[in-house]
Structure 1
């Protein structure tokens, strides 16, 4: 299936994701989960996966859908257990299918039978928990709890910092994207009036570079400036007891 999606990326039909055929032929191949496999391809030197126009977006969509399907659960308070079980007993597959059809036509539809009433009542008590889905509301709530835990154990933060790396104007980012630039020369190979266009095109062709550059800058800030990676743990603000960061 993967080879049919991107024949130019897998021209020989090998190296595809979840390849059960080659793993069962006694070649000593081992299973690699989909997320790790995609991450590996996006870090290759030749950058053909990074520069593909649809590969990373399609795979991101598939990974998020799998995560939402396999790693989510329903949760409710213990005191609501009798109400939840009572509502579940009144719900059936046929009634849910009819309710879904009605909701597609009118999102503000009101229940008109016992099954639909029970389904709406169930939504009041049951929460959809999805902590492992990146960017989900559950992940945001989990980060709130982590921040509260840090404040309770370490006290209020003494410093708030917002970091916005200028990747578009940074020669390091251009080197990561594959441009041949001498970083020891401040204005090496600046193309005059077309330089801004070249930089923009470079990032548009390879968005993975922007993510790699962002991580590089953040790691340098926490590891060197804050001193997290130093042996004595002392940075420009002294010895940092703890820090917490999120990406917008």
Structure 2
């Protein structure tokens, strides 16, 4: 982070930064897909797609119906959906990226066995001095912690500070409590593997 926090304090900054990151990821995924040998087939599928069949499938899927493609037009629509999913899996926060995350977790369980621990970790940023230090616009160390309402207001005005603190706290937890990427054992012994995800 930079000394000048004016971008962090801009109310629209988190939304714009997220959209910019997603556009960048989507563009990169599009270039990766275009460079594959199957891209010509993807273009052909898009050109031959029947919009009415796609609309009908979308409505049925939205209603929770289990849809198995029967006709060639439906199979073509599912092929296009699969091609779009390949691009969407590179975009953070997309449904496809969550689906791939679930697959990674199940693969890790299949490889390493069932996990011994499920840890839900929620660092409290409202009253933590490091979080408040990140949120302050003046570069000074806090001698006295402000009252809770002031702390909440500081973190609402600067959500980047909350994210920075969360990242800092999670890395400390992984390194010192679990012993991940550390030269010492964790509190629970040697960590064979770990997988972390953020609820969205």
Q: How many Å apart are 1:172 and its aligned residue?
A: 1.5
Identify which of 160, 167, 187 aligns with 1:215.
167
CA contact (8 A) 2:174 2:180 kept: yes
Q: Does residue 203 of structure 1 match 2:155?
A: yes
* Structure-2 separation of matches of 1:196 and 1:219: 25
Identify which of 228, 235, 242 aligns with 2:186.
235
Aligned length: 171
* Structure-2 separation of matches of 1:144 and 1:171: 35
CA contact (8 A) 2:25 2:91 kept: yes
1:125 match: 79
* Structure-2 separation of matches of 1:51 and 1:85: 43
Q: Superposition RMSD on alpha carbons, in Å?
A: 3.2
1:30 match: none
* Structure-1 separation of matches of 2:90 and 2:125: 29
* Structure-1 separation of matches of 2:43 and 2:196: 40
Per-residue CA deviations over 1:1-31 (Å, capped at 9, x if unaligned) read xxxxxxxxxxxxxxxxxxxxxxxxxxxxxxx
**TM-score, structure 1 length as denominator?**
0.58
* Structure-2 separation of matches of 1:86 and 1:212: 45
Per-residue CA deviations over 1:154-191 (Å, capped at 9, x if unaligned) read 11100111001111121221012226444xxxxx4245
Per-residue CA deviations over 1:178-228 (Å, capped at 9, x if unaligned) read 26444xxxxx4245xxx1221111111111000000011100110001112
Structure 2 residues without counterparts, runs of 5 or longer: 60-70
* Structure-1 separation of matches of 2:16 and 2:44: 41
1:57 match: 15
Larger-Rg structure: 1
Structure 1 residues without counterparts, runs of 5 or longer: 1-42, 109-116, 183-187
**TM-score, structure 2 length as denominator?**
0.71
Q: Secondary structure at the match of 1:162?
A: coil
Per-residue CA deviations over 1:86-127 (Å, capped at 9, x if unaligned) read 865645xxx86xx7xxx7xxx96xxxxxxxx98766323331
CA contact (8 A) 2:8 2:158 kept: yes
- Ranked by relative contact order (alpha carbons within 8 Å, sequence separation 6 or more), the top structure is 2
2:68 match: none
More helix by share: 2
Q: Does residue 155 of structure 1 match 2:113?
A: yes
More strand by share: 1
CA contact (8 A) 1:87 1:119 kept: no
CA contact (8 A) 2:177 2:186 kept: yes
Q: Does residue 247 of structure 1 match 2:190?
A: no
